[in-house]
Protein backbone atom coordinates (compact mmCIF):
# COMPACT_ATOMS: atom_id res chain seq x y z
CA UNK A 1 0.00 0.00 0.00
CA UNK A 2 1.37 3.41 -0.97
CA UNK A 3 2.30 5.85 1.78
CA UNK A 4 -0.39 8.48 2.20
CA UNK A 5 0.08 12.12 3.12
CA UNK A 6 -0.11 13.76 -0.28
CA UNK A 7 -2.98 14.84 -2.51
CA UNK A 8 -2.44 12.23 -5.23
CA UNK A 9 -2.36 9.09 -3.04
CA UNK A 10 -5.29 10.38 -0.95
CA UNK A 11 -7.36 10.97 -4.11
CA UNK A 12 -6.50 7.45 -5.34
CA UNK A 13 -7.78 5.86 -2.10
CA UNK A 14 -10.95 7.94 -2.14
CA UNK A 15 -11.60 6.94 -5.77
CA UNK A 16 -10.79 3.26 -5.19
CA UNK A 17 -13.39 2.96 -2.43
CA UNK A 18 -15.88 5.45 -3.93
CA UNK A 19 -15.70 7.22 -0.58
CA UNK A 20 -18.10 10.08 0.11
CA UNK A 21 -17.14 12.67 2.72
CA UNK A 22 -19.62 12.83 5.58
CA UNK A 23 -20.32 16.40 6.67
CA UNK A 24 -21.78 15.14 9.97
CA UNK A 25 -18.37 13.66 10.86
CA UNK A 26 -16.42 16.80 9.89
CA UNK A 27 -14.08 14.86 7.61
CA UNK A 28 -11.05 16.69 6.20
CA UNK A 29 -8.00 14.56 5.32
CA UNK A 30 -4.50 15.99 5.74
CA UNK A 31 -2.52 16.02 2.47
CA UNK A 32 0.73 17.69 3.55
CA UNK A 33 3.73 15.59 4.57
CA UNK A 34 5.50 18.59 6.09
CA UNK A 35 2.67 19.11 8.59
CA UNK A 36 2.61 15.36 9.28
CA UNK A 37 6.32 15.53 10.13
CA UNK A 38 5.68 18.36 12.59
CA UNK A 39 2.82 16.50 14.31
CA UNK A 40 4.80 13.26 14.67
CA UNK A 41 7.92 15.14 15.81
CA UNK A 42 6.13 17.24 18.42
CA UNK A 43 4.27 14.20 19.81
CA UNK A 44 7.69 12.67 20.64
CA UNK A 45 6.59 9.10 19.91
CA UNK A 46 9.02 6.34 20.88
CA UNK A 47 9.06 2.54 20.55
CA UNK A 48 7.92 2.38 24.19
CA UNK A 49 4.68 4.22 23.47
CA UNK A 50 1.09 3.15 23.03
CA UNK A 51 -0.69 5.84 21.00
CA UNK A 52 -4.42 6.47 20.83
CA UNK A 53 -5.40 8.07 17.53
CA UNK A 54 -8.88 9.58 17.36
CA UNK A 55 -10.39 9.79 13.88
CA UNK A 56 -7.75 8.11 11.67
CA UNK A 57 -9.74 8.77 8.48
CA UNK A 58 -8.05 6.78 5.70
CA UNK A 59 -4.97 6.07 7.85
CA UNK A 60 -2.64 8.88 6.74
CA UNK A 61 -1.26 9.68 10.19
CA UNK A 62 -1.82 6.13 11.44
CA UNK A 63 0.84 4.81 9.03
CA UNK A 64 3.39 7.27 10.40
CA UNK A 65 2.46 6.58 14.02
CA UNK A 66 2.76 2.81 13.46
CA UNK A 67 6.33 3.28 12.26
CA UNK A 68 7.31 5.19 15.40
CA UNK A 69 5.25 3.63 18.22
CA UNK A 70 5.08 0.21 19.88
CA UNK A 71 1.32 0.09 19.37
CA UNK A 72 -1.39 2.30 17.86
CA UNK A 73 -5.08 2.09 18.75
CA UNK A 74 -7.11 4.00 16.16
CA UNK A 75 -10.76 4.80 16.92
CA UNK A 76 -12.91 5.68 13.89
CA UNK A 77 -16.62 6.54 14.08
CA UNK A 78 -17.39 6.16 10.34
CA UNK A 79 -17.94 2.46 9.57
CA UNK A 80 -17.51 3.22 5.83
CA UNK A 81 -13.82 3.89 6.53
CA UNK A 82 -13.12 0.53 8.18
CA UNK A 83 -12.47 -1.40 4.90
CA UNK A 84 -10.28 1.51 3.74
CA UNK A 85 -8.21 1.33 6.94
CA UNK A 86 -7.91 -2.46 6.65
CA UNK A 87 -6.30 -1.84 3.27
CA UNK A 88 -4.06 1.17 4.04
CA UNK A 89 -2.85 -0.35 7.33
CA UNK A 90 -2.57 -3.97 6.18
CA UNK A 91 1.24 -4.10 6.51
CA UNK A 92 1.25 -2.82 10.10
CA UNK A 93 0.85 -5.52 12.74
CA UNK A 94 0.98 -3.06 15.64
CA UNK A 95 -2.28 -1.23 14.78
CA UNK A 96 -5.72 -1.98 16.23
CA UNK A 97 -8.68 -0.26 14.56
CA UNK A 98 -11.86 0.16 16.62
CA UNK A 99 -15.09 1.30 14.99
CA UNK A 100 -16.77 3.37 17.70
CA UNK A 101 -17.75 6.80 18.97
CA UNK A 102 -14.79 7.87 21.13
CA UNK A 103 -17.17 9.55 23.61
CA UNK A 104 -18.95 6.24 24.26
CA UNK A 105 -15.82 4.14 24.79
CA UNK A 106 -14.48 3.17 28.21
CA UNK A 107 -11.08 4.76 27.63
CA UNK A 108 -9.65 3.77 31.01
CA UNK A 109 -10.39 0.15 30.18
CA UNK A 110 -8.85 0.60 26.72
CA UNK A 111 -5.63 1.92 28.29
CA UNK A 112 -5.62 -0.98 30.75
CA UNK A 113 -6.00 -3.54 27.95
CA UNK A 114 -3.46 -2.05 25.53
CA UNK A 115 -0.90 -0.43 27.85
CA UNK A 116 -1.32 -2.07 31.24
CA UNK A 117 -2.86 1.12 32.64
CA UNK A 118 0.32 3.12 31.96
CA UNK A 119 -0.08 6.62 30.45
CA UNK A 120 -0.62 6.74 26.70
CA UNK A 121 -0.09 9.51 24.15
CA UNK A 122 -3.05 10.83 22.19
CA UNK A 123 -2.65 12.11 18.62
CA UNK A 124 -5.59 13.32 16.55
CA UNK A 125 -6.89 15.48 13.74
CA UNK A 126 -10.14 16.32 15.50
CA UNK A 127 -13.41 17.27 13.79
CA UNK A 128 -14.13 20.86 14.76
CA UNK A 129 -17.68 20.24 15.98
CA UNK A 130 -16.60 17.81 18.69
CA UNK A 131 -13.15 19.03 19.74
CA UNK A 132 -14.09 20.34 23.18
CA UNK A 133 -16.19 17.33 24.33
CA UNK A 134 -13.37 14.94 23.35
CA UNK A 135 -10.65 16.91 25.14
CA UNK A 136 -12.78 17.33 28.25
CA UNK A 137 -13.67 13.62 28.28
CA UNK A 138 -9.98 12.66 28.19
CA UNK A 139 -9.21 14.96 31.12
CA UNK A 140 -12.33 14.68 33.28
CA UNK A 141 -12.41 10.87 33.11
CA UNK A 142 -8.77 10.90 34.23
CA UNK A 143 -7.63 8.72 31.35
CA UNK A 144 -3.94 7.92 32.01
CA UNK A 145 -2.12 10.02 29.43
CA UNK A 146 1.18 11.82 28.98
CA UNK A 147 0.21 14.25 26.26
CA UNK A 148 -2.41 15.13 23.64
CA UNK A 149 -1.11 16.35 20.28
CA UNK A 150 -4.06 17.52 18.21
CA UNK A 151 -5.01 19.45 15.13
CA UNK A 152 -7.93 21.75 15.89
CA UNK A 153 -9.58 24.86 14.50
CA UNK A 154 -7.25 27.85 15.02
CA UNK A 155 -9.76 29.66 17.26
CA UNK A 156 -10.09 26.62 19.55
CA UNK A 157 -6.30 26.36 19.94
CA UNK A 158 -6.20 30.07 20.78
CA UNK A 159 -8.85 29.57 23.47
CA UNK A 160 -6.85 26.75 25.05
CA UNK A 161 -3.77 28.81 25.75
CA UNK A 162 -4.86 32.42 26.38
CA UNK A 163 -5.05 34.15 29.75
CA UNK A 164 -7.61 36.38 31.54
CA UNK A 165 -8.92 39.56 29.97
CA UNK A 166 -8.89 38.33 26.36
CA UNK A 167 -11.97 37.67 24.24
CA UNK A 168 -10.99 34.00 23.70
CA UNK A 169 -10.56 33.30 27.42
CA UNK A 170 -13.23 31.06 28.89
CA UNK A 171 -14.15 27.73 30.49
CA UNK A 172 -12.10 25.73 27.94
CA UNK A 173 -8.97 27.84 28.61
CA UNK A 174 -9.25 27.22 32.35
CA UNK A 175 -9.99 23.51 32.02
CA UNK A 176 -7.06 22.85 29.69
CA UNK A 177 -4.68 24.90 31.84
CA UNK A 178 -5.83 23.10 34.99
CA UNK A 179 -4.91 19.71 33.55
CA UNK A 180 -2.08 20.45 31.10
CA UNK A 181 0.53 22.85 29.75
CA UNK A 182 -0.52 23.94 26.24
CA UNK A 183 2.07 24.59 23.50
CA UNK A 184 1.29 25.75 19.96
CA UNK A 185 3.22 23.55 17.49
CA UNK A 186 2.33 25.03 14.10
CA UNK A 187 -0.39 26.79 12.13
CA UNK A 188 -1.97 24.79 9.28
CA UNK A 189 -3.57 26.56 6.28
CA UNK A 190 -6.88 25.21 4.98
CA UNK A 191 -5.15 24.29 1.68
CA UNK A 192 -3.38 21.41 3.49
CA UNK A 193 -6.63 19.41 3.62
CA UNK A 194 -8.90 17.51 1.26
CA UNK A 195 -11.59 18.73 1.03
CA UNK A 196 -10.48 22.25 1.96
CA UNK A 197 -12.26 23.46 5.15
CA UNK A 198 -13.48 27.04 5.60
CA UNK A 199 -11.03 27.76 8.42
CA UNK A 200 -7.34 27.42 9.20
CA UNK A 201 -6.15 24.92 11.80
CA UNK A 202 -3.51 24.74 14.51
CA UNK A 203 -1.55 21.83 15.92
CA UNK A 204 -1.38 22.17 19.70
CA UNK A 205 0.28 19.89 22.25
CA UNK A 206 -1.15 19.54 25.74
CA UNK A 207 1.38 18.10 28.19
CA UNK A 208 -0.48 16.56 31.13
CA UNK A 209 0.49 17.78 34.61
CA UNK A 210 1.25 15.06 37.13
CA UNK A 211 -0.52 17.32 39.61
CA UNK A 212 -2.66 20.39 38.76
CA UNK A 213 -0.95 23.76 39.42
CA UNK A 214 -3.72 24.73 41.89
CA UNK A 215 -5.41 22.88 44.76
CA UNK A 216 -9.15 22.62 44.34
CA UNK A 217 -10.96 20.93 47.20
CA UNK A 218 -13.55 19.58 44.75
CA UNK A 219 -12.59 19.46 41.07
CA UNK A 220 -16.15 19.00 39.78
CA UNK A 221 -17.35 21.95 41.88
CA UNK A 222 -14.50 24.14 40.56
CA UNK A 223 -15.65 23.54 36.98
CA UNK A 224 -19.31 24.06 37.92
CA UNK A 225 -18.35 27.50 39.29
CA UNK A 226 -16.29 28.26 36.17
CA UNK A 227 -19.13 27.26 33.83
CA UNK A 228 -21.63 29.39 35.75
CA UNK A 229 -19.22 32.33 35.62
CA UNK A 230 -18.99 32.18 31.81
CA UNK A 231 -22.56 31.12 31.07
CA UNK A 232 -23.52 34.69 30.25
CA UNK A 233 -20.28 36.56 29.53
CA UNK A 234 -21.87 40.01 29.78
CA UNK A 235 -23.14 39.38 33.31
CA UNK A 236 -21.12 40.12 36.43
CA UNK A 237 -19.75 37.23 38.46
CA UNK A 238 -22.31 38.00 41.18
CA UNK A 239 -25.23 37.64 38.76
CA UNK A 240 -23.80 34.58 37.00
CA UNK A 241 -23.23 32.64 40.22
CA UNK A 242 -26.48 33.79 41.84
CA UNK A 243 -28.53 32.77 38.79
CA UNK A 244 -26.89 29.31 38.71
CA UNK A 245 -29.19 28.29 41.58
CA UNK A 246 -26.64 26.32 43.60
CA UNK A 247 -28.04 25.28 47.03
CA UNK A 248 -26.86 27.58 49.81
CA UNK A 249 -25.32 30.07 47.35
CA UNK A 250 -27.35 33.27 47.01
CA UNK A 251 -26.41 36.85 46.14
CA UNK A 252 -25.38 37.66 49.70
CA UNK A 253 -23.05 34.65 49.95
CA UNK A 254 -21.41 35.43 46.59
CA UNK A 255 -20.91 39.10 47.53
CA UNK A 256 -19.40 38.16 50.90
CA UNK A 257 -16.92 35.74 49.27
CA UNK A 258 -15.88 38.28 46.60
CA UNK A 259 -15.44 40.93 49.31
CA UNK A 260 -13.26 38.55 51.36
CA UNK A 261 -11.12 38.02 48.24
CA UNK A 262 -10.77 41.78 47.75
CA UNK A 263 -12.66 41.72 44.44
CA UNK A 264 -15.19 44.36 43.28
CA UNK A 265 -18.88 43.42 42.94
CA UNK A 266 -18.77 44.48 39.27
CA UNK A 267 -16.08 41.96 38.30
CA UNK A 268 -16.72 39.52 35.43
CA UNK A 269 -15.50 35.92 35.19
CA UNK A 270 -13.28 36.66 32.18
CA UNK A 271 -10.86 38.65 34.38
CA UNK A 272 -10.18 35.94 37.00
CA UNK A 273 -7.11 33.71 36.87
CA UNK A 274 -7.22 29.95 37.47
CA UNK A 275 -5.80 30.59 40.96
CA UNK A 276 -8.59 33.07 41.73
CA UNK A 277 -11.28 30.70 40.44
CA UNK A 278 -9.84 27.96 42.65
CA UNK A 279 -9.95 30.20 45.72
CA UNK A 280 -13.48 31.31 44.81
CA UNK A 281 -14.71 27.72 44.43
CA UNK A 282 -13.02 26.61 47.67
CA UNK A 283 -14.62 29.51 49.59
CA UNK A 284 -18.08 28.90 48.07
CA UNK A 285 -17.77 25.20 48.92
CA UNK A 286 -17.07 26.11 52.55
CA UNK A 287 -20.19 28.34 52.56
CA UNK A 288 -22.26 25.47 51.11
CA UNK A 289 -21.00 22.98 53.66
CA UNK A 290 -21.69 25.38 56.51
CA UNK A 291 -25.26 25.97 55.27
CA UNK A 292 -25.90 22.27 54.61
Number of domains in the chain: 2
Beta bridge partners of 184: 204
For residue 150, what is the enclosing H or E element? strand 145-153
Q: Is the dihedral of CA 240, 245, 247, 250 positive or negative?
A: positive
| Domain shared by 82 and 204, yes or no | yes
How many whole angstroms separate alpha carbon 155 and alpha carbon 158? 5
CATH of the domain at 36: 3.40.50.150
- Which residues, in sequence order, are CB contacts of 217 under 8 Å at separation 6+? 281, 282, 285
Of 208, 238, 266, the residue at which a domain comes to its end is: 208
Query: What is the value of pTM for the model shown?
Result: 0.90
Query: 50, 51, 3, 55: which is closest to 29 by C-alpha?
Result: 55
Of 189, 208, 227, the residue at which a domain comes to its end is: 208
Beta bridge partners of 125: 151
What does each of the 292 residues of the chain score in pLDDT, given as a tens digit? 557 877 888 888 888 887 776 666 667 888 899 999 999 999 999 999 999 999 999 999 999 999 999 999 999 998 999 999 999 999 999 999 999 999 999 999 999 999 999 999 999 988 777 888 999 999 999 999 999 999 999 999 999 999 998 889 999 999 999 999 999 999 999 999 888 888 899 999 999 999 999 999 999 999 999 999 998 777 899 999 999 989 889 999 999 999 999 999 999 999 999 999 999 999 999 999 987 6
| Domain shared by 236 and 190, yes or no | no
| Domain shared by 24 and 108, yes or no | yes
The verdict on residue 214 lying in a domain is: no
Residue 38: CB atoms within 10 A of its CB come to: 16
Give whole-number Cα distances, 211 to 163, 178, 180, in Å.
20, 9, 9
- How far the first Cα of the chain sits from its last, in Å, is 64
| Domain shared by 129 and 203, yes or no | yes
Q: Cα 99–182–167 angle (5° rounding)? A: 105
Could you tell me the residue range of the domain that residue 224 belongs to? 219-291
The verdict on residue 213 lying in a domain is: no
| Domain shared by 163 and 265, yes or no | no
Query: 166, 138, 178, 206: which is closest to 278 by C-alpha?
Result: 178
| Domain shared by 183 and 285, yes or no | no
The verdict on residue 1 lying in a domain is: no
SS3 content of the chain, % helix, strand, coil (to 5): 45, 20, 35
How many whole angstroms separate alpha carbon 228 and alpha carbon 233? 10
| Domain shared by 95 and 157, yes or no | yes
| Domain shared by 202 and 236, yes or no | no
Amino acid sequence: MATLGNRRSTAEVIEKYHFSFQKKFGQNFLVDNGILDKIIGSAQITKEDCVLEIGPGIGTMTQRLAEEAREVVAVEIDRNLIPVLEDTLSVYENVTVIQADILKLDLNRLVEEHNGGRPIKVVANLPYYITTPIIMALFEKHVPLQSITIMVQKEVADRMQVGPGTKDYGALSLAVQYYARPEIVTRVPAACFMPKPNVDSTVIRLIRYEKPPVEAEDEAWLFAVIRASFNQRRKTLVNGLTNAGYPGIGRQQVEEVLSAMGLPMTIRGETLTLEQFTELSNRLLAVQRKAG
